[in-house]
Each structure stands twice: as C-alpha cells, then as structure tokens.
C-alpha cells in the first residue's frame, strides 16, 4: 500500500511539473494580447464554469468579462462572442478566417472521418457539396416536389391527435413532432417512411436521438491533452454500436435504391420523383462530375440530414406551442388570423403561410428566445485581430446565439415573449428582421457560407405544423393554472427540461376532412 501511495505521489509531482513547464513556456512564447478571461484551473481550464447548461453559463460570464472572452477548455483555446457586433466581426468581417468547424473525435468517427458536409473542412469538397445542396438537394424546386409528402405526413399527425382528442388521452407533443419530422425527412431523403411500421419507426428515432446525444456529449479526449488517446468514458464502444446500426440501415437502403434504379433503366417507371439519395447516387456515378462521391460521403451526408432535420424542427415547434399555451392572448390572435385568412372549413397549408404575418412573427420570436442551435461553433484557420485583441490560429470560436437573442441593447424587454416586435409598426426597424443570417442580433440558423442550408425546409415544416396545431386544437396541460414549465435541458438542440404533455381538444366542428 505504501509503495502504491509513493508511486501515485510521484505521478502527481510529474504531472504538475509537466503542466507548470507547459504553462511557463506558453507564457514565454505568447506576447499576443488576448481578450479578457476568468480565472482558470490547472488541467481543466474553465471547463468547470460551463455547467450545467453551457450557453447559459457563458452568458453569465459575459456579463462580467464582456462580449468577447477568452477561455480554455482543458488545453483548447477558445473565444466567446456574446453580442451581435462581435458576431458580425467573426462571421462576416473575418468570415474567411472562421470557415472551419472544429474536428471532434465523436463527430469525426460518426461521419466516416468528416466525409460529410456539415463538418467537412472548408475547401473544394465542401464548396462542391454546398453548390449541390443549394442547386439540387435542398433547392426550391426539390422542396416543391416534396410538398405532397409534407402535406400527407401532417395529415397523419393531425389524425393521430384527433384520435387522442376523442379519447381524451394525454400526448407527448414533442415526441409526436419528432415522429412527424422524422417521417418527412426519411421520405424526402430515401423515399422511406416509418409511418406504417412502428417498430422500424422507433428504431430510426432511437438511432437519430443516440447520434445527437453522442455528438453533444462532453468527451475528455477532445479537451484534455493527455487523454487524447485514452477512452476513459467508454465512448468508443457506444460510437461503434451506433455507427454499425446506421451502416446496416444505410447499406440496405442504398442496395434497394440501386436495384430500383436498374429496373428503371430496364424500362420501369421513369416518372417517379427522385429523392435526395437518388441525386447523390447520380453524382457518384457521373464520371464527368466535378467530385466523385464515395459510399462514405453519401452515408455521412444522409446522417447530416437526419441529425439536422429531425430534432431541430420538432424542438422549435414544441417551444412555440409551449409559449402560446402560456400566453393565451397571443394564441387567440394567431387563431383569429388563421380563421380570417384560411377559414374554419379547411386545414391550413404551406401556401397560406405568406398571408399569416402574425404566425410568422410567433415563429421568429420563438427562434429568438429558443434558438435550435444556441451556440455557433467555428475554428480559426489563421491568426487575426478582432476588437483590438489577437486571436491565434486553431482557436475555437463560440458565438452565443442564445445570449445575443436576449441582449437588452438590441431587444426591448428581451425576456418577454412578444411576437408584435416583428410586426409592421411605423418607424420600427424590427419589421425587416429576418432569420437567415443577415441580421446579427437574430442568428437561429447561423450566418455566412456555413449557415444552415435547410432553413427554407425548416421554416416550412415549423410554420405549417404550428399553424395546424393552433387552428385545429385547444391544448390542455396539467399543473398550476394550466401553465407550462419553460426550463431548458442540456443538449445540442436546446431541448426542454421536461416534455410537453397535453390533451388535445378539437376546436373545429364539424372537423374538416383531411
């Protein structure tokens, strides 16, 4: 026992000595002026300050240290931008220096060595995939082609809610919204739907949730330098299990697509609308293509679509409905607008949304207070100077979108849910604010070349599903005065701390046929 204690003491002395020597040499080497920083601890830096919810903790730190901070996450240098002015400096003025996303062990493994689009390094492959995304995969033409899919899946969702309403049964609203968005994404991506196979549906949803959970989980090897090649948390086993399941699913789907494509060439139905996987396979088989996509590229891109498209839209719609339940006056205004524009004899559709400015304002206000991605993450590719401070290359950037949306310098009564701030009021500039990254006080989808390419699809799904839920049902909740707890939970996509459980009550009588 004494020998063990002696060896352990020697190890601690060696470890502390190494840290002190590294710190000393770093200070001697570094003559740059870094932004303000809180007091750091040895080894872990400022990691202890980020609990329990990072975007909230960073916002609290920024009130003391300013809108541009320097922090150390273990041995990883980071800067935090917490104002729209700082966000604009990083994402527009110095965008070329912050066009990369940092590589993490988890995401790198899940995406076959960053073979995807979202986390690929900025370069020829990323530019090619961006062009394909905007011109083919998520273009207006493709979204129009898949309008019947979105309409059909919304109809299924409303039929399910009507069944629960007739039985006066409680519903996990967030869970059903995930089912809705998962079905839309799977049909658009792979011409597959889980609607008729509940076991398969549950497997796909669990897989997507596991990927999102692992991607957002803190991994020691990414931040503590001497843990780089260690798996102290047992992450590798979980990652392998999830990716193996995804591989099996995708191999089967790709094989089915390839067989269907052969049948088409042999005289089958050639009028079928191509899904996103068909387009990716076309590119991979095109010898004249600017880039030849590998099987790993295709799998990784499909993974991106599932991870980014399923949970995010559902979470936003869930937050919006929760706010409306807590603000009955706003709910009534939204219903009055829908009744006037759409009527009570048919269900609201995507084509109606342009004539529903108050509904659009509700979604904007939800995205301001509850941005799906509360933090934008980038990494500097070169040394630069911002706000009078030196930012070295390989510095990780966090733009706190959640904090920026609550900044009292840009928002009057920033903690209040007030859609009217986005409506046309004479002399107000807020009426022109958009969510597509041009206004840096409102960045729910990011900004610049690495902003979310699926913004249009997300807005269509969120606005139409929310409008239908407002139009068709009242929503009863348990609890004091029938209000909803608005606490946030930890995660990549700003989940609620507690699920939104409601009893839907039919509002329209007779109910319009679907």
Domain ranges of the chain: 47-506
Q: What angle do CA 455, 89, 410 make, to 5 degrees?
A: 70
User: Taking 70 as the threshold, does the pLDDT of residue 15 lie above it?
Assistant: no
Q: What is the pLDDT of residues 442-493, one digit of tens each?
A: 999 999 999 999 999 999 999 999 999 999 999 999 865 789 999 998 877 8
Q: Given this structure, which CATH class describes domain 47-506?
A: mainly alpha
User: Taking 80 as the threshold, does the pLDDT of residue 317 lie above it?
Assistant: yes
Give just the sign of the alpha carbon dihedral 25, 28, 32, 38.
Answer: positive
Given this model, what pLDDT does residue 194 score? Answer: 53
Given this model, what pLDDT does residue 4 score? Answer: 44
Cα separation of 90 and 205, whole Å? 35
Report the pLDDT averaged over residues 78-107: 96
Q: Which residue has the tokens 């530019």?
A: 127
Report the pLDDT averaged over residues 369-388: 95
Q: Which of 500, 392, 402, 504 is nearest to 162 (CA)?
A: 504
Flag whether 418 is marked binding: no
Q: What percent of the chain has pLDDT over 90?
A: 65
Report the pLDDT averaged over residues 173-186: 93
Given this model, what pLDDT does residue 427 score? Answer: 45
Given this model, what pLDDT does residue 228 score? Answer: 80
Given this model, what pLDDT does residue 269 score? Answer: 59
User: Taking 50 as the threshold, does the pLDDT of residue 83 lie above it?
Assistant: yes
Report the pLDDT averaged over residues 170-189: 93
| DSSP category for residue 476 | E
Report the pLDDT averaged over residues 355-366: 97
- pLDDT grade, residue 224 (50/70/90)? confident
Task: Supply the mean pLDDT for the chain.
Answer: 88
Given this model, what pLDDT does residue 28 score? Answer: 37
User: Taking 50 as the threshold, does the pLDDT of residue 29 lie above it?
Assistant: no
Q: Which residue has the tokens 């509940």?
A: 198
User: Taking 80 as the threshold, does the pLDDT of residue 429 lie above it?
Assistant: no
- pLDDT grade, residue 196 (50/70/90)? low
Pair type for strands 76-81 and 396-400: parallel
Given this model, what pLDDT does residue 261 score? Answer: 86
Q: What percent of the chain has pLDDT over 70?
A: 89
Provide the 3-class DSSP secondary structure of residue 72.
strand
Question: CA distances (Å), 169 to each of 99, 160, 185, 503, in order?
Answer: 48, 11, 27, 6
| pTM score | 0.91
Given this model, what pLDDT does residue 492 score? Answer: 78
Provide the 3-class DSSP secondary structure of residue 506.
strand
- pLDDT grade, residue 137 (50/70/90)? confident
Q: How is residue 221 written in tokens?
A: 């090897």
- pLDDT grade, residue 6 (50/70/90)? very low
Cα separation of 333 and 235, whole Å? 48
Question: CA distances (Å), 292 to each of 7, 78, 288, 295, in order?
Answer: 55, 35, 9, 10
Report the pLDDT averaged over residues 34-57: 93
């Amino acid at each position: 026992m004494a020998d063990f204690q002696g060896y352990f003491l020697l190890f601690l002395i060696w470890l502390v000595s190494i840290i002190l020597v590294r710190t000393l040499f770093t200070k001697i080497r570094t003559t740059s002026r870094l932004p303000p920083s809180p007091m750091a601890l040895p080894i872990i830096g400022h990691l202890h300050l980020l609990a329990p919810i990072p975007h909230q903790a960073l916002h609290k730190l920024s009130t003391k240290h300013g809108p541009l901070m320097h922090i150390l996450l273990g041995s990883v240098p980071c800067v935090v931008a917490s104002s729209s002015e700082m966000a604009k400096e990083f994402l527009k003025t110095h965008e070329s220096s912050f066009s990369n996303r940092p590589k993490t062990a988890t995401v790198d493994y899940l995406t076959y060595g960053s073979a995807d689009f979202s986390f690929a390094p900025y370069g020829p492959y990323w530019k090619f995939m961006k062009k394909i995304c905007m011109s083919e995969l998520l273009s207006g033409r493709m979204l129009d082609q898949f309008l019947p899919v979105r309409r059909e899946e919304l109809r299924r969702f409303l039929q399910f809610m009507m069944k629960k309403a007739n039985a006066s049964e409680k519903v996990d609203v967030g869970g059903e919204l995930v089912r809705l968005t998962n079905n839309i994404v799977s049909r658009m991506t792979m011409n597959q739907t889980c609607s008729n196979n509940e076991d398969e549906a549950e497997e796909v949803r669990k897989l997507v949730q596991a990927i999102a959970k692992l991607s957002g989980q803190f991994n020691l090897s990414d931040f503590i330098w001497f843990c780089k090649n260690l798996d102290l948390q047992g992450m590798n086993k979980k990652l392998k299990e999830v990716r193996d399941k995804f591989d099996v699913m995708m191999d089967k789907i790709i094989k089915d697509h390839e067989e269907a494509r052969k049948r088409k060439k042999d005289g089958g139905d050639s009028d079928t609308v191509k899904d996103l996987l068909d387009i990716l396979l076309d590119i991979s088989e095109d010898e004249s293509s600017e880039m030849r996509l590998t099987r790993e590229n295709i799998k990784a891109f499909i993974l991106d679509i599932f991870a980014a498209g399923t949970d995010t839209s559902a979470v936003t719609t869930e937050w919006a409905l929760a706010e409306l339940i807590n603000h009955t006056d706003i709910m009534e205004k939204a219903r009055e607008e829908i009744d006037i524009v759409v009527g009570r004899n048919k269900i609201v559709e995507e084509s109606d949304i342009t004539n529903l400015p108050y509904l659009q304002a509700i979604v904007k206000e939800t995205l301001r207070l509850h941005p799906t991605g509360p933090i934008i993450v980038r990494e500097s590719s070169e040394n630069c100077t911002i706000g009078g401070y030196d930012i070295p290359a390989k510095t990780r950037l966090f733009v706190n979108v959640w904090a920026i949306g609550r900044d009292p310098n840009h928002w009057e009564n920033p903690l209040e849910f007030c859609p009217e701030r986005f409506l046309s009021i004479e002399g107000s500039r807020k009426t022109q604010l958009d969510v597509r990254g041009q206004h840096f006080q409102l960045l729910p989808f990011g900004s610049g070349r690495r902003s979310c390419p699926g913004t249009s699809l997300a807005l269509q799904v969120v606005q139409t599903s929310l409008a239908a839920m407002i139009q068709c049902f009242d929503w009863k909740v348990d609890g004091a005065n029938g209000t909803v707890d608005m606490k946030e939970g930890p995660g990549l996509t700003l989940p609620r701390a507690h699920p939104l459980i409601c009893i839907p009550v039919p509002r329209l009588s007779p109910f319009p046929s679907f």
